[in-house]
Amino acid sequence: MILTLVSFGSATAATLKDMSYATLPGNRLEVKLQFDGAPPEVKGYSIEKPARIALDLMGATSGLASKYHNLGTGNARNITVVEAKDRTRLIVNLVQLQGYSTEVDGNTLLLVLGGEPKSAEQQVSTSSSVREKALNVVDFKRGAQGEGQMVIRLSDPSTPVDVREEGGRVVARF
């Protein structure tokens, strides 16, 4: 019985198989995310400095060969794809912050950067699954023993935070 549940759980997890992009009129970019099944639920947020959009693909895994994908077109610089225990996160690094929309088409999740959503129906479905999140306050202060502290207040306490040391630096991803 446990074996059946484990097998069922792995069969329902979507795997990101391919990612491609194309420029669209109006300084827009379409990123196509191809899955091996139905695309997962998407939760997202954006920050202004540095300009980026983060999309969490809930319950998904990445089958891509690389974490880093250079776009180098228009406002989009690159996309980083990282896996956590219960999601795959896409981080879209931008020159400056812009709007985005998502749409499901079969086993493909379409991410459109820039422009307006194609229809009111699409806007409703996108806004219900992608909530805007932001960094409200970033403050620096000294602790009781003179140590440096960085205090960050988020607009939504459920925002996932990943903090780690990379090359002698502390890196926080929201």
Distances from the Cα of 119 to the Cα of 126, 149, 164, angstroms = 11, 45, 40
Q: Which residues of the chain have pLDDT under 70?
A: 1-12, 115-136, 157-158, 174
Does the domain at 11-131 match CATH 2.60.40.3470? Answer given as: yes
Measured distance CA(136)–CA(76) in Å, rounded: 24
Q: Which residue has the tokens 């996160």?
A: 89
| Apex 128 CA angle, 123 and 132, nearest 5 | 90
The alpha carbon of residue 116 and the mean position of all alpha carbons in its chain are separated, in whole angstroms, by: 19
Domain ranges of the chain: 11-131, 133-174
Quick one: pLDDT at residue 9?
A: 36
The pTM (predicted TM-score) of the whole model is: 0.60
pLDDT digits over 40-83, tens only?
999 998 888 889 999 999 999 999 999 999 887 778 889 999 99
Structure letter (DSSP) for residue 158: T
60: exposed, middle or buried (Cβ count in 10 Å: 0-12, 13-18, 19+): buried
Q: Which of 49, 46, 81, 43 is nearest to 174 (CA)?
A: 46
Quick one: pLDDT at residue 41?
A: 93
Quick one: pLDDT at residue 36?
A: 95
CA atoms within 13 A on the CB side of 162: 13
